[in-house]
Amino acid sequence: MTVSMAQVIKLFGLLCLVVTIAAEVRVKRQDEDADPDSINVEELCKDRPGDEYFRLSTDGDCREVVRCTRSGLKQITCPSGLAFDIEKQTCDWKAKVTTCDKKEKPRKVLPILKTDEPICPEGKLSCGNGECIDKELFCNGKPDCKDESDENACTVELDPNRAPDCDPTQCVLPDCFCSADGTRIPGNIEPQQVPQMITITFNGAVNVDNIDLYEDIFNGQRQNPNGCQIRGTYFVSHKYTNYSAVQDLHRKGHEISVFSLTHKDDPNYWTQGTYDDWLAEMAGARLIVERFANITDGSIIGVRAPYLRVGGNKQFEMMADQFFVYDASITASLGRVPIWPYTLYFRMPHKCNGNAHNCPSRSHPVWEMVMNELDRRDDPTFDESLPGCHMVDSCSNIQSGEQFGRLLRHNFNRHYNSNRAPLGLHFHASWLKSKKEYREELIKFIEEMLGRNDVFFVTMLQVIQWMQNPTELNALRDFQEWKEKCDVKGQPYCSLPNACPLTTRELPGETLRLFTCMECPNNYPWILDPTGDGFSKK
C-alpha cells in the first residue's frame, strides 16, 4: 500500500519534471503580434519573480501557465488530466486543483528597503506600511511589522541581515573558502596541477536491494593513483536500512552521512521545517546510525535534505549547533564553468536554484558541497541548450547505457578542461540497478578514469581535506589526509547481524526489522524515540 503510493508520487514527480523541460517554450511571437493589447509583457512582469508561474487567462482547461524571463514570457502546459495549481506552483491532478479561477498568487506586502533617503533612524528599517522596526527583526521567522512585511523579503539577495559578499582578505583557508563567482580554485593552483576529484554519492536506505551494487562498484580492487581504494559517500535514510551493512561500508572507508530520519514524503515539510524539525531529523538520524552501525569516531558530519529541499537558515543554524560540517543539497544551475564547494560565512556565490528557493541567507560556519548540475545533452556540440540535472536519475532523457556513458564523459570533460571543480555523480541505487547496462557503464567509466594518473574517486570529507590543504598533483602521492584506511581488507564485524523485529507507537501497525551487529533496542527507533529505548515518561 505505502509502496504503491510512493511509486505514484515518484512517477508523478517525474512527470512534472518532464513537462517543465519538454514544454517550456517561448510564447510565440505571432501571438503577441496578433493581439498586441492583450499581453503587455513589461507590465505583467514588473516586480514579478522569474520563478513565478501565472495564467494569462482563466478560460480553457487550466493547464497553461507562463513565467517571465529576460527574453519574454515562457509557457508550460501540464499533461492532459492535470491542471496547474497556482498556490502550489506545480501541475497536479485536476480534481485536486482549486485555483483554476485565479490568475496569480496573491502578492505579499513587501517592506520598503531601497529608498534614496533613509526613512527610518539608524539601525531600523521600514515595513511596507512605513512603520520602522529594528533591522534585526527582519527575516527572523516571526512577523514583527503590523503588515507582516518584515518576513516577505528574505531571499539570499534581499534579507537585510544577509551574509556579506565574499571578502577574500577575510575568508582564508583552512576554515573559510569563497570566491566572487564561486569558480576559483583553492590555493590558486594551476588547473593542470589540480587532481580531478569525483564524488560518487548514493541517497536512501542501505539494504538487500543495493548492497550487491555497492560491492560491485567498490570491490576493493579499484585504486586511486595514490594506491588507496576508491570511495563513495552514502546519505543514509533510516527506514529499511541494514545497519550492519552501513557499519561495513564505514569500516571500508566510505563516508556515511545523513539523509534524515523519517524521509517524510511531503517536500514542503522540509522547506518549511522548524529548527526543531531539522534537529530531530538530522541529529536523530546521526544518533541512530552511530548507535546501530557502531560508528564511534565522530565521522558523520554531512547532511543532505530529502528532495534537496533546503530548509533555509534554520537548517544551517541547527547544523552549526550540532557540529555538522557540510550540507550537500544546494544545486547550482548548469553554467559555463562549474562551482567549487564553498563555506557559507559569506554569501553563496550563485543563484539559489530550485529547492523552493529556501537557501540560507545568513552567515553560517558550514561548508556547502554544492551540486553542480550535469549537462544532459546527448550531443553537446549540436543540441540546443537544456536545463541541467542534479541527480543522474533526474536526467530523464538518459535511456540507454550508451547515452549514460556519453553523459559521464562529456561532464567529466567539462570539469576537467575548465577549473577542475569536483565532479559530483549523485545516484539513487534503484536507478543504477534498473538496467544492467547502467551499472556496467559506470564501472567502465571508473576503470577508464583510473587509467589516468590525475583522477581520484573520493568522499565529501576528502574533498574538504584537499581544499583545506590544496596540494598539487605531483605531491599527492604523499598527501597524508587521503591515506587513512588506505587499503582495507578483512571481514565485517559480525557475520550474522541481529534481525530485530520491532514496533513503535509512532508507526502503528508496522513491524520493521532492524539489522545490526549491536544489541536489539526495545522499540523501532523513530523521531520521538531515536534510541529505541522507549518514550520518556513524565
Ligand X SMILES: *[C@@H]1O[C@H](CO)[C@@H](O)[C@H](O)[C@H]1NC(C)=O
Structure-block grid coordinates of residue 432: 543504477
Q: Are the CB atoms for 372 and 424 separated by under 8 Å?
A: yes
Structure-block grid coordinates of residue 169: 582578505
Of the pair 298, 509, the CB lying nearest ligand X is at 298
**Shortest CB 52 distance to ligand X, Å:** 46
Does residue 498 interact with ligand X by CB under 6 A? no
Does residue 375 interact with ligand X by CB under 6 A? no
Does residue 30 interact with ligand X by CB under 6 A? no
Q: Are the CB atoms for 202 and 232 separated by under 8 Å?
A: yes
**Shortest CB 494 distance to ligand X, Å:** 6
**Shortest CB 246 distance to ligand X, Å:** 8
Q: How far apart are CA 455 and CA 475, in angstroms?
A: 14
Q: How far apart are CA 430 and CA 461, in angstroms?
A: 25
Does residue 214 interact with ligand X by CB under 6 A? no
Q: Which of 39, 120, 189, 211 binds ligand X (CB under 6 A)?
A: 211
**Shortest CB 487 distance to ligand X, Å:** 20
Does residue 217 interact with ligand X by CB under 6 A? no
**Shortest CB 271 distance to ligand X, Å:** 33
Q: Are the CB atoms for 363 and 345 separated by under 8 Å?
A: yes
Write b or e for each residue in 265-295: b if 16 or more Cβ atoms lie within 10 A of its Cβ, otherwise e. eebebbbebeeebbbbbbbbbbbbbbbbbbb
Does residue 525 interact with ligand X by CB under 6 A? no
Q: How far apart are CA 232 and CA 211, in angstroms?
A: 13
Of the pair 62, 429, the CB lying nearest ligand X is at 429
Does residue 296 interact with ligand X by CB under 6 A? yes
Full DSSP string of 317-376: HHHHHTT--EE---EE---SSPPPPEESSS--SS--BSGGG----S--S-EE--EEPB--
Longest dimension (CA), the chain: 76
Does residue 99 interact with ligand X by CB under 6 A? no
Q: Which of 34, 208, 486, 528 binds ligand X (CB under 6 A)?
A: 208
Does residue 520 interact with ligand X by CB under 6 A? no
Of the pair 252, 415, the CB lying nearest ligand X is at 252
Structure-block grid coordinates of residue 383: 543540441
From the CB of residue 331, how many other CB atoms can be counted at a distance below 10 Å?
24
**Shortest CB 209 distance to ligand X, Å:** 9
Please choose, from the candidates 526, 17, 506, 48, the residue with its C-alpha nearest in 3D space to the C-alpha of residue 267: 17
Does residue 416 interact with ligand X by CB under 6 A? no
Q: How far apart are CA 448 and CA 459, in angstroms?
A: 19
Q: How far apart are CA 300 and CA 245, in angstroms?
A: 16
**Whole-number Cα distances in Å, 527 to 272, 278, 302, 506, 515:** 17, 11, 19, 8, 18
Task: Considering only the stretches 95-103, 305-313, 358-366, 515-523, report the one whose residues sit in contact with ligand X under the rule CB under 6 A.
Answer: 515-523
**Shortest CB 215 distance to ligand X, Å:** 8
Q: How far apart are CA 199 and CA 233, in angstroms?
A: 7
Q: Which of 242, 358, 411, 462 binds ligand X (CB under 6 A)?
A: 242
**Shortest CB 251 distance to ligand X, Å:** 9
Of the pair 22, 211, the CB lying nearest ligand X is at 211
**Shortest CB 429 distance to ligand X, Å:** 13
Does residue 210 interact with ligand X by CB under 6 A? no
**Whole-number Cα distances in Å, 159 to 109, 319, 320, 360:** 15, 20, 20, 10
**Shortest CB 204 distance to ligand X, Å:** 14
Of the pair 234, 515, the CB lying nearest ligand X is at 515
Q: Which of 515, 524, 527, 529 binds ligand X (CB under 6 A)?
A: 515
**Shortest CB 249 distance to ligand X, Å:** 8
* Residue 168-207 contact track with ligand X, rule CB under 6 A, x = bound: ---------------------------------------x
Q: Is the dihedral of CA 443, 444, 449, 451 positive or negative?
A: positive
Of the pair 251, 410, the CB lying nearest ligand X is at 251
Residues 244-273 that bind ligand X (CB under 6 A): 244-245, 248
Structure-block grid coordinates of residue 160: 537585510
Does residue 112 interact with ligand X by CB under 6 A? no
* Residue 115-134 contact track with ligand X, rule CB under 6 A, x = bound: --------------------
For residue 43, the surrounding DSSP H or E stretch is helix 41-45
Please choose, from the candidates 81, 76, 107, 110, the residue with its C-alpha nearest in 3D space to the C-alpha of residue 94: 81
Instruction: Tell me the site size for ligand X, rule CB under 6 A.
Output: 15
End-to-end, the C-alpha distance of the chain in Å comes to 36
Of the pair 211, 320, the CB lying nearest ligand X is at 211
Please choose, from the candidates 264, 371, 272, 288, the residue with its C-alpha nearest in 3D space to the C-alpha of residue 327: 371
Q: Which of 492, 503, 512, 522 binds ligand X (CB under 6 A)?
A: 492
Does residue 488 interact with ligand X by CB under 6 A? no
Residues 72-91 that bind ligand X (CB under 6 A): none
Which positions lie near ligand X, rule CB under 6 A? Answer: 207-208, 211, 242, 244-245, 248, 294, 296, 492-493, 497, 515, 517-518
